Structure 1
């Protein structure tokens, strides 16, 4: 009886210990997503007065060959001066120059409406204070712009058409597949000049670009603004990045559809922003679907505003360089990034989760959590941590605390997990849990990691034993 009693006690104690152990593991993951729930409570979409200002009442006409720039400007100003409301774009096609939003204004596109942006470069002057690939400068106005405004929105089921293609805007990239031919003007000299101006700490407002620089403007760029909503619209034919809030707080991007395959046609690039929700969106792009950024090189380090508290959920990604990407303009760092309930599927989607940086960029990428991702196929790597995206410099990057859970891939590309890091700055605390990747050529390749953990990870039908994988990847690192 005593032996039986002792056995029962041991069983109960063992069960308690096992339960406590499991609860610790579960609570560690749950704690992160509890943080995401707390962040969600901070992201509140702006609301607007129930007053409408229709652009046709301010001179906009249905002749799509005549610019309605002044009508947009006057309707927005009237709405702003009267305490806010909606600026209504009715059914029809309207040609315009850039649109500058002001506080308490919701630009609302009714069903059947389409805004087409002008190809007359003079319409995008005077130059405005902007960021171009993470570098501050004076450049052509973004197609839709706001500077130091609060409570602004772009909503409705209409179409925003950037009017870019291989005949206009895209050739400035200097790539033949986008219409450029030998002897045509391009951005290359200006990019080199701006990069040097940033390195030399030239004051940002003295970095004058525009005419002769050929730096394509982003599509939508609210700058130093708060309480932003972009919802339901479809965005096509962008000159450059599509949605690029910079140094903003409380941003919601909801049910937006981005379909554009030009150069650098990133879908949504929140840059140095805090408290961002991207939900229910569809991305089919010529570059990264979502790319989280915080400034390039000296600008990112000196301004020192990290990307933080981002939630990405319920989105679908088709073509693109990456589904969820952090970098490469990440010198200000990134932290508390959450992505869940995503669908990705395209042979032209290069990566699922991509962290790209370099010792030229520097910065700390930390606390990145992804879960519940269903993938049909992709091209190159499911999980990529790359510290050699750009040429080396003097600012060692850090990547740490990355957790991927419930990633299910039917037909993978070349790599399952690919890590290319510095020996003196290994990728720390990468954890992959309860995930299945099928059809990859190389399951795991990693050169420098610390505390990398796989729990119940199956690749090509085999449960992964990292101790064996680590031995198999010693030596020369194979780049894709």
Structure 2
């Protein structure tokens, strides 16, 4: 009986012992497995985020002295008969003299002219407040230093303007209304002034002598502009219909743009235009725009080369577009260069293009090290466009300087209901559009992939469902070299998987394409009509 009790204790002890061992092993297995999964995701993300300094983009909300200057205490009246411009100016000046703090726009409707911010100022719109900007150009004088479509000048002041400021914010829960529809007729009126400015820039006329901001030299001001600023935050607001580009960080560094709702209808009213700026994060924003939602630029032709400042270290994530020309756009004013761009986890709906890199001969400049990852699109006409023959709508370049686009990755892109799946158009000259990769692409479109004038392209795991029609091909290639296709899905009802302009493949690798009867489903042609967009 004692022996049985001892055996029971022994077995119970052994069970507890082995139970502990199993729990310890399971714990370490789970820990290591979780760590491995985490490392795999981190490694994948690092591979995607080519040359991005993510540490520099871990922004926190800016902090300001615990001081409030309410514009009501400086004579602001809500009646609408009197502009609040002077009251806002006094509140900003007073707050800045005391070391900075929050300048409060209280609940109500406040009409105003130009607002100029200063360092350590947080212009804050309370809930149910509206800043309504005057449509009278005289309320945006005297002229200030700015950049108009990539060219430096002195022009009407942007509606909200900050120059050479540090630690400056614009935020809250209110609305900023620009009455952009009242500036619409300037789109045609300003064409001669744009050409005059371009000639000045081309001839290196000193910027101090490029004076605009008159009825004759009528160029629309941008809506909100930060020039040469450091540590900038714009958040929380609804911004409606300015006269020109909506939010324009220029020559600025460490810019955090988040949780905005931008709605515009007028010509050239892009949502966010990042211009020759560094370390910019745009996240959790909604866009319905009359032009591109987010655009990255760096100067136009000779003036862009003279200034020589690229846009770099830019992350755009968790944004959504509902209407507009393009969702995320690089160019065409990119003569100063664009590098190190990461766009991911975005939803694009009902825009003309999804991701577009546009430029033209004469721009020069470069776009390099850009990644577009985990993007979902619906009713976007052209999900991916890389076009080096973009038309010169306003001014024609006076040189033949070639732009250079390289090291671009598109990964995990899904699109439904499109016109052209992927459109790539460079030049017959080499080395202007190269080192482009497409991976894990799933699309439904009328037309497939068009490649004209590119080299060193790689396509892997591509599933594009196109309209079945006679003479239509999944992929059309012209004047392009060193192309690799792996795991390409070409449905059996598509007769022509690859159409090649010319009589040779020119270094096109189809060995791992995964397409059955590939030789029978390839067509060589001399007819250029298949390559017209």
Q: Are 2:528 and 1:476 aligned? A: yes
Q: Kindly report which structure 2 residues correspond to 1:111-130, keeping only aligned pairs within 5 A, or say none.
A: 111-130=127-146
Q: Which has the higher strand share?
A: 2
Q: Are 2:415 and 1:406 aligned? A: no
2:424 corresponds to which of 408, 419, 427: 419
CA distance in 1, matches of 2:104, 2:526: 61
2:193 partner SS: helix
The answer (yes or no) to whether the contact 1:44–1:227 under 8 Å persists in 2 is no
Change (3 A) 1:446 1:475: farther
CA distance in 1, matches of 2:111, 2:423: 46
The answer (yes or no) to whether the contact 1:66–1:95 under 8 Å persists in 2 is yes
Q: Are 2:265 and 1:251 aligned? A: no
Deviations 1:316-372 (A, max 9, x none): 0111111110001100000000000101111xx111110011122110101110111
2:114 corresponds to which of 98, 122, 138: 98
The answer (yes or no) to whether the contact 1:39–1:309 under 8 Å persists in 2 is no
Which residue is 2:436 aligned to? 430
Which residue is 1:8 aligned to? none
CA distance in 1, matches of 2:179, 2:82: 15
Which residue is 1:195 aligned to? 198
Greater relative contact order (Cα 8 A, min sep 6): structure 1 or 2? 1
CA distance in 1, matches of 2:60, 2:489: 42
Q: Kindly report which structure 2 residues correspond to 1:6-25, keeping only aligned pairs within 5 A, or say none.
A: none
The answer (yes or no) to whether the contact 1:42–1:250 under 8 Å persists in 2 is no
2:171 corresponds to which of 143, 155, 164: 155
The answer (yes or no) to whether the contact 1:142–1:218 under 8 Å persists in 2 is yes
CA distance in 2, matches of 1:279, 1:225: 20
Q: Are 2:212 and 1:209 aligned? A: yes
Change (3 A) 1:41 1:101: same
Deviations 1:17-70 (A, max 9, x none): xxxxxx999957633427546245464543211211101111111112320000
CA distance in 1, matches of 2:440, 2:260: 31
Deviations 1:120-166 (A, max 9, x none): 2211111001111111001000000011111111011100000221x
CA distance in 1, matches of 2:303, 2:58: 27
2:346 partner SS: strand
Which residue is 2:71 aligned to? 55
Computed over aligned residues only, the root mean square deviation of the Cα atoms, in angstroms, reads: 2.2
User: How far is 1:172 from its partner?
Assistant: 0.6
CA distance in 2, matches of 1:29, 1:47: 30
1:81 corresponds to which of 97, 106, 109: 97
Deviations 1:211-270 (A, max 9, x none): 112211000011011110000111112100000110000001101111011000100001
Q: Kindly report which structure 2 residues correspond to 1:251-270, keeping only aligned pairs within 5 A, or say none.
A: 251-270=255-274
Q: Which has the larger radius of gyration?
A: 2
2:250 partner SS: coil
The answer (yes or no) to whether the contact 1:218–1:238 under 8 Å persists in 2 is yes
Q: Kindly report which structure 2 residues correspond to 1:287-326, keeping only aligned pairs within 5 A, or say none.
A: 287-326=291-330
2:365 corresponds to which of 347, 363, 366: 363
Which residue is 2:354 aligned to? 352
Higher mean displacement: 26-35 or 427-436: 26-35
Which residue is 1:382 aligned to? 383
CA distance in 2, matches of 1:227, 1:138: 24
Higher mean displacement: 264-273 or 298-307: 298-307
CA distance in 2, matches of 1:29, 1:427: 24
> TM-score by structure 2 length?
0.79
CA distance in 1, matches of 2:41, 2:458: 13
